[in-house]
Structure formats: C-alpha cells, structure tokens
Amino acid sequence: MRAVFNKTLLEIAKKDPRIHMVLADIGYGEIEPFRDTFPERYYNVGVAEQNMTGVACGIAMEGNIAVTYSIANFPTLRCLEQIRNDVCYHNANVKIVIIGGGVSYGPLGMSHHSTEDISILRALPNMVVVVPCDNYEAEAATHAMIEYDGPLYYRCGYKGEKDIHSGPVDFKIGKAITVREGKDVTLMFAGPIGLNVLHAAEMLEKEGISCRVVSMHTIKPIDKDAIKDAAENTGGIITIEEHNLSGGLGGAVAEVVCDEGLSPKAFKRIALPDVNVALIGHQEWIREQFGMSAEGIAKQIKETLK
C-alpha cells in the first residue's frame, strides 16, 4: 500500500505545486522519486519528528499542503503535542501519513506497533482520520486527502497487502463502502484486517450465516447512516480492527449506537485487548495470537450471534 500511496502522491504533486513532503529520515526506495522530481518541495529534517511537524505546519500556513511521512508511531505519538497545538489548533492543511498501521512491523516489537493511534488522533479537534484497507482505497484516499482542506491523518498499510476490492472504488470521506451484502450481521472493519474479515464472512456463508461486510475507511467523521442501517436492517453489528479495544473503530461505532438510540440485536468489538502488544513476529502470526485470523474472527462472530 505504501508504494501505491507514494506513486499516487507524486502524480498529484505534478499537477499541484502546493504539495510538499516533510520526512524524519525515512523512505529508502519509496520517496526518492518525489525527492528527485521536486527537490525544492522535499524536506528531510532528520530523526526529529517534533520538528518535522512544526516545519510542516509552517509550510501549510504559507498556503501549501504539507505531508508528513514516517513509520508506525513516529509521526503521531512522538510529536503529539505539536500535532495538537500547531496543526489542529491552527486548522493547518497538514496531512499526517503513517506507514505500517497496527502490527505491520511485527518483527520490530512494541515500539513499532501502532495500536493506539486511531483513538488518540480522532480525539483531536479538526482532525480527520482515514484508514484505507487495500491498494484501491489507498489510491482513492490519497486523492481525497489532498482535496480535503485541513488536518488529516492517513493510516496506511505496509507492503504486500492483497486487495479486498475488485476494482476502483467511490471513496468519499465519511462515507463507508459496502464490500458485500448480508442480512444476519454487519461486519464493520477498518484497514487491511478487512481481508481476514472478508474470508471469515465467506466461511460463515457456508454455514448459513449471511454477513454484510463494510469498510469503515473513515473513523472521523464516521458514517452514521451506515451504522443506523446496519442496526435496523441486519441482525447486529460487529466491528473488527487492528487497534487497541479502547477508543478505535469499535468505540466510534458504539458512540453512534448510543447517541442515536439504536438497538442492534447484537453488538461486539473485535480488536487487540487493552495491553501492551509486546509480541514479536510476523503480522499474521500476531493477529492469530489475539483471535484475529479469519478463523478466529469467524469463531467470535458465531459466538456473538448465538
């Protein structure tokens, strides 16, 4: 997904001279085309993410679009104060892009597990939170990101993710995308974990359980209409995300359910538990340890619907 993001951003930048990239000593094979094409719009501030965010805010406040870019937690949690006080307070046109959401960098350990970012970033005023699930959404979300005027957090996958969609998608910020229809339960996911969700739905279909599968690619603003429709017209809502149980997609959906007075027949959040994910290993292996393989997700869905 990161390759698609970088390629798409470069193509957009060729037509929009406002776009600048600000990095903290990262890239290596992906961002060099942007650097070589637009050296005057490329800044590597070194391993100094707080400074990166401040520089980006200054660039944006001069009428430009600044894109900060790094891996996992580094462009978010390490410089959270600057995002809050500089970017969000001034409603600056800064796009915060992370590569490797969730446990994509599994072999690098807890420091590289981005598992609290959605809840923290969506709590910031003026911040939009976007979590594309595959290459098609990644490309469309990059266009939507640049078209949006204001702070936006883009949580990208890493590399080698398989596509969930079969072709280009109609991507609108705040508008969910239905991947497949179903009536017994609605499975709402965010990010590349959606492929496991789709496989789980296919397994359950063979057992007579019809699942609607929905990509909630925008956590903030969230699609209230999609949540209402799922609560009223299917047998319940189950959210799935590669993120801490607290405050992510599941929390956002639950807030809508409560605030709107909805009464789904069933409701469950499938996510990483509220622990420090200190496991080291391949991404799919870590998912399996927390019941988030396709089989693990299917099992939890069946238990919820009993």
Residues serving a catalytic function are 49
CA 290 – CA 161 distance, rounded (Å): 20
Through-space distance between the first and last CA atoms of the chain, rounded to whole angstroms: 37
List, as one string, the DSSP characters of 27-55: -SSSSHHHHHH-GGGEEE--S-HHHHHHH
CA 248 – CA 229 distance, rounded (Å): 20
Q: Does residue 155 contact residue 191 with C-beta atoms inside 8 Å?
A: yes
The two three-digit tokens of residue 293, written as one number: 């393989």
Query: What is each CA distance from 225 to 59, 60, 78, 257, 287, in whole angstroms?
Result: 36, 33, 35, 11, 30
CA dihedral 265→239→194→210, nearest 10 degrees, is -10
The two three-digit tokens of residue 214, written as one number: 């929905």
Within 10 A of 269 (CB to CB), how many other CB atoms are there? 18
